[in-house]
Chain A
Amino acid sequence: MSAAKNMSAAFQVAAAMPGRVILLALPVAAATALALATLAIDQGLSAKAEQAARSFGQDVISIRPGARVIAGQSGTATSLSAEDVDALLERLRGYKAIEGTRREDNVPTSAGSKSGRYKLFGVRPPWADVRQFGADRGDFLDDDDVQSSARVCLLGQTPTRELFGDQDPIGQEVTINQVPFRVKGVLVTKGSSPAEGDRDARIVIPVTTFYDRLYKRVHLDQIVVQARDSEQATLAKLEGDIQSILRTERKLKEGEKNDFTIRLPSTIAEQSRGVSRNVFYLLLGLAGVCGLAAVFLIVLVYGQAVRSRRGEIGIRRAMGATPGDILIQFWAEGLVTSVIGGLVGVLLGIGGAYGLAASRGLEFGFGPLVVVAPLAIVVFASLAGLIPARSAAGLDPAEALRPQV
């Protein structure tokens, strides 16, 4: 009962000084919101990255042109060629399939009055198995399509929806970069990944058609090697052999850097979020700094309040308040601030995470850490209020009531 009365006294004081409550609640809110939004998005991305790694295949090694770059795209590097595929096919041992692909982004595509821009992949039939990206409906490409540079394609879920709506696209005609193609099938759903974005926004055509009819491009954008199994030892040996074969092919000298990048399944998830992880650490650090600032401000401002309210503390003691009453009241004042800040922060954090996720096509996850971290900030800020509250409770009432000179 007494604690409830002291809490109500704290509310009276808080209501009388809204400016101070806002000032102190702000850093708590900022820290809570930042921590919550960052962790929620991070968890969403982690889940997506793991999913991306899984869907890429646990037995698939990817070779990209150019030295290793962080975001996964390798710009205009032109170091992979069909000869590399031939060399690997001839000298590599222990693989199940090898597949080289060409790729072009933002390719204008239309069907009837509708149009859009999608990623175009020139592939061979094994691609469907190697990348686990086969036909959901209709048929995948076959050897005849490759032999004859056929103008056939498979549409991802996104172009299917955007160009054909509810209609069945199979057998229909689409125009890809001003060349007409027949739709042979629709690709399985893959969703989006942090590195690639919407993985359903793609169209697949025979690699020969890509070269003969659309882009006279010699170099490959990716070579994927499917191993016989997904054992780490198998993959590591293949990686070493691939590197050795490609270096020999390029006549690279000892100490000279690779002009290609090999990625194993275990590093796909890690690499696909390389940059974002650092950004998240930075944001979490910022949340920590805000939390520390909140704790520091609460101790400082309430410490000053205790000094300026000595008379109030003295008169409350004279009226029968015990040191415990004073402790609860002054602590509750800090608690009100921390809880208000925390609640505002949770709302802002959820809103921020939701907005960010919606605008970037990401998802957010709510694991235990997403709940624990903001809660920890509020708890620390609340506990910080105990420091000035203890000094208020320890004040000698006779001393507190003495006129200040």
Chain B
Amino acid sequence: MLIELTEIDKSYRDRQGQPVSVLKQLSLQVEQGAFVALSGASGCGKSTLLNILGCLDRFDGGEYRFDGENVGAWSEGQRADLRNRRIGFVFQAFHLLPFLAVEANIALPFMYNHHGQRPSHEHIESLLKSVDLEGMSQRYPGELSGGQMQRVAIARALVLGADLILADEPTGNLDSAVAQGVLDLFELLVQQGKTIVMVTHDPAISARADRQIKMEGGQIDSDNRRESVGRAK
């Protein structure tokens, strides 16, 4: 099991200092190679859940095991290292650095790698080829379309060989044809053994995943798996 969340509690304090519960006793297991869509109304806790899965946020109670390790108890340095090597992030707003060319944007995670991994032009070119952006390594984000920028962001998420891709509304800024292209890419990655957890509002997008989890009030409301799953794991 790649992800095991057990009875996770998470609350914030509002402006008056009162605690507001966002996740309540939430338990979730995600196996390696799964393609999970998280949906639910605004404020239901799906982005908070994604942040906890990505070790970007801490929780108040419960346990989070990533690939068997109790990462909830890890130091900030260990969690940063885990994010760097094993978790890739894809966001609605792409978050590419506008002053860096595509190749430098994709190589950015190497900057925070403490295991001697170094970027190579060949590796990045092959990644660009896999996301249909061959020959664009010297372009700047401002010269790319929304779909191309999201593909660069996906390549960046994969550059250090992440097992888990966390995608927060990855198609939110894309038109539907381009969005389908990104989902095709995600399906391909899942076939290669990557695990994807994707937050989306769109039922059509959600339907492309193997597993649809609907959240409500900080808890899992429904968890449906698609029957006809025939992908290589």
Q: Which A residues have a C-beta under 8 Å from some C-beta of B?
A: 2, 5-6, 8-9, 12-13, 15-17, 311-312, 314-323, 325, 396-398, 401-403
Contacts and interface: CB of A to CB of B under 8 A. Distances in A.
Given A312-B97, A315-B95, A401-B91, A320 B113 contact: yes
A13 B99 contact: yes
B80 A320 contact: yes
B89 A318 contact: yes
A322 B56 contact: no
Question: Chain B: interface residue count, which band?
Answer: 20 to 34
A210 B113 CA distance: 88
B83 A319 contact: yes
B74 interface: no
B51 interface: yes
5 contacts: A13-B99, A312-B95, A315-B95, A317-B80, A318-B56
A8 B107 CA distance: 13
Nearest to A311: B95
A318 B54 contact: yes
A323 B99 contact: no
B60 interface: no
Contact of A320 (B57, B81, B99): B81
Contacts of A13: 99
Contact of A398 (B56, B92, B112, B114): B56
A9 B92 contact: no
B80 A321 contact: yes
Contacts of B83: 317-320
Contacts of A401: 51, 56, 91, 95, 168
Contacts, number: 73
A325 B56 contact: no
Given A318-B56, A401-B51, A401-B168, 15 more contacts: A5-B112, A6-B111, A12-B100, A13-B99, A311-B93, A317-B80, A318-B54, A319-B83, A319-B108, A320-B80, A320-B109, A320-B112, A321-B112, A397-B57, A398-B51
Contacts of B48: 398
A4 to B, nearest CB: 10
B76 interface: yes
B99 A316 contact: no
A2 B114 contact: yes
B99 A314 contact: no
Contacts of A315: 89, 91, 95, 97
> Which 4 residue pairs across A and B have the least CB separation, nearest first?
A320-B84, A16-B99, A320-B112, A315-B95
- Looking at chain A's contact residues, the main secondary structure is helix
A8 B119 CA distance: 15
Contact of A322 (B77, B89, B92, B108): B77
Contacts of B80: 317, 320-322
A206 to B, nearest CB: 80
A380 to B, nearest CB: 28
B42 to A, nearest CB: 12
Nearest to A321: B112
A9 B111 CA distance: 8
A323 B75 CA distance: 12
A343 B103 CA distance: 33
Contacts of A320: 80-81, 83-85, 109, 112-113
Nearest to A329: B111
A283 to B, nearest CB: 39
A117 B81 CA distance: 80
A402 B95 CA distance: 11
Interface string B109-133: 1011110000000000000000000
A16 B104 CA distance: 13
Interface in B48-75: 48, 51, 54, 56-57
A397 B166 CA distance: 15
B233 to A, nearest CB: 26
Contacts of A15: 99
Contacts of B168: 401
Nearest to A318: B89
A5 B100 CA distance: 15
Contacts of A8: 111
B38 to A, nearest CB: 15
A317 B95 contact: no
Nearest to B116: A1
Nearest to B54: A318
Contacts of B85: 320
B16 to A, nearest CB: 18
In the complex, which of the residues B47, B51, B77 has the most CB atoms of chain A within 10 Å of its own CB atom?
Answer: B51
Given A12-B99, A315-B91, A318-B83, A323 B76 contact: yes
Contacts of A318: 54, 56, 83, 89
B57 A319 contact: no
Contact of B56 (A16, A312, A397): A397
In the complex, which of the residues A311, A315, A320, A398 has the most CB atoms of chain B within 10 Å of its own CB atom?
Answer: A320
Contacts of B56: 317-318, 397-398, 401
A322 B78 CA distance: 9
A398 B56 CA distance: 6
A317 B79 CA distance: 10
